[in-house]
């Protein structure tokens, strides 16, 4: 019996992965917000490195009450919208629904845990350069890997979904052409992702710069490396073993990346909330829990909170 998927937040991430799954013929139901009418008429369009495609007709909804119950709900919303999650998620849950949270940041799965309990939440990291460029129109620029696994709570003592249920999701993702992997150590995967997000998301806002500008300037390049190193040190203090050379990997990998505006920079420039708490605040909470001081991450956190509170309307890319 096939899994019925729901996608909450059909943007750069949910539209790309959900679109690939729908193209494969999986049973996928998409919640749209402002793009709903456009998608009803014109379908969903994905321009992708993997090949452009257009789905003229998708299962599109403008409110969760109209959706069927789903076995797996993929959360593609930004964590800044997690206050909406209960109202969006509750109508589409069955007794065993698994919630797969694909959000940047640490312990962002807690919002779902509070709704469905700790045995039904998975988390994942997406290594994806993708933007929504118009209504129902996604542009996938680079990468696309998902690494996901059971979310076991802040203390790591929760249960999480069964390996079998996660394996079935993995099979569907891979069959859809997505580079997906299961991890039994979600925290380490999350920290590895943060070793990119914390330097590059924040610097892209604070320096008003795309990744290539950050990489091409000797000072910001060195700073990005120092930040990534500090994030690794927090991870180590939190019991997540990451080899020192992973810092080099992050830097090399960013060199190879196409020039890219991080999601945080796009959010900032477009006047949307930025994920400061999920990415910086929660990492600092974890550092504090482990008695580790993270002066650079703390500095960025305070700078970004100021920037978010005093957004200058004339700060253009």
Identify which range of 12-20, 59-67, 220-228, 254-262 contacts a copy of itself by CB under 8 A: 220-228
Number of residues that bind a copy of itself (CB under 8 A): 32
One of 157, 193, 305, 312 is an active-site residue; which one?
A: 193
* Residue in the block written with tokens 């999350």: 190
Does position 302 interact with a copy of itself (CB under 8 A)? The reply is yes
Residue 295 CB, shortest distance to a copy of itself, in Å, is 4
Q: Is residue 280 within 8 Å of residue 104, measured between CB atoms? A: no
H or E element, residue 250: helix 246-256
Q: 35 or 230, CB closer to a copy of itself?
A: 230
List the one residue from 34, 245, 270, 316 that touches a copy of itself (CB under 8 A). Answer: 316
Q: 98 or 300, CB closer to a copy of itself?
A: 300
Helix, strand, coil fractions of the chain, as percent rounded to 5:
45, 20, 30
Active-site residue flag, 78: no
Interface positions, 226-245, toward a copy of itself (CB under 8 A): 226-227, 230
Interface positions, 170-209, toward a copy of itself (CB under 8 A): 203, 206-209
List the one residue from 222, 273, 288, 289 that touches a copy of itself (CB under 8 A). Answer: 222
List the one residue from 59, 107, 204, 220 that touches a copy of itself (CB under 8 A). Answer: 220
Q: How far apart are CA 231 and CA 297, in angstroms?
A: 8
List the one residue from 223, 237, 269, 285 that touches a copy of itself (CB under 8 A). Answer: 223
Q: How far apart are CA 111 and CA 116, in angstroms?
A: 9
Residue 296 CB, shortest distance to a copy of itself, in Å, is 5
- Count of CB atoms situated within 10 Å of the CB of 202: 27
**Which residues are tagged catalytic?**
193
């Amino acid at each position: 019996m096939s899994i019925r998927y729901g996608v909450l937040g059909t943007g750069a991430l949910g539209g790309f992965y959900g679109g690939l799954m729908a193209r494969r013929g999986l049973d996928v139901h998409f919640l749209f917000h402002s793009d709903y009418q456009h998608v009803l008429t014109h379908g969903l369009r994905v321009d992708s490195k993997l090949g452009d495609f257009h789905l003229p007709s998708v299962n599109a909804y403008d409110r969760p009450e109209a959706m069927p119950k789903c076995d797996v709900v993929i959360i593609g919303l930004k964590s800044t919208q997690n206050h909406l999650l209960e109202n969006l998620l509750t109508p589409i849950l069955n007794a065993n629904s698994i919630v797969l949270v694909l959000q940047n940041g640490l312990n962002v799965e807690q919002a779902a845990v509070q709704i469905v309990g700790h045995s039904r939440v998975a988390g994942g990291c997406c290594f994806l350069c993708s933007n929504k460029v118009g209504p129902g129109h996604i542009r996938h620029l680079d990468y696309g890997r998902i690494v996901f696994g059971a979310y076991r709570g802040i203390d790591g003592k929760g249960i999480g979904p069964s390996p079998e249920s996660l394996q079935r999701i993995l099979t569907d993702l891979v069959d859809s052409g997505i580079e997906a992997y299961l991890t039994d150590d979600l925290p380490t995967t999350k920290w590895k992702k943060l070793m990119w997000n914390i330097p590059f998301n924040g610097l892209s806002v604070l320096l008003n710069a795309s990744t290539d500008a950050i990489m091409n300037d000797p000072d910001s390049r060195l700073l990005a490396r120092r930040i990534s190193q500090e994030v690794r040190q927090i991870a180590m203090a939190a019991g997540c073993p990451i080899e020192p050379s992973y810092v080099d990997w992050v830097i090399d990998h960013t060199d190879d990346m196409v020039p890219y505006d991080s999601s945080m920079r796009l959010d900032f420039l477009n006047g949307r909330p930025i994920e400061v708490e999920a990415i910086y605040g929660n990492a600092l909470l974890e550092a504090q829990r482990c008695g580790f001081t993270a002066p650079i991450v703390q500095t960025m956190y305070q700078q970004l909170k100021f920037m978010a509170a005093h957004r200058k309307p004339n700060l253009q890319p």
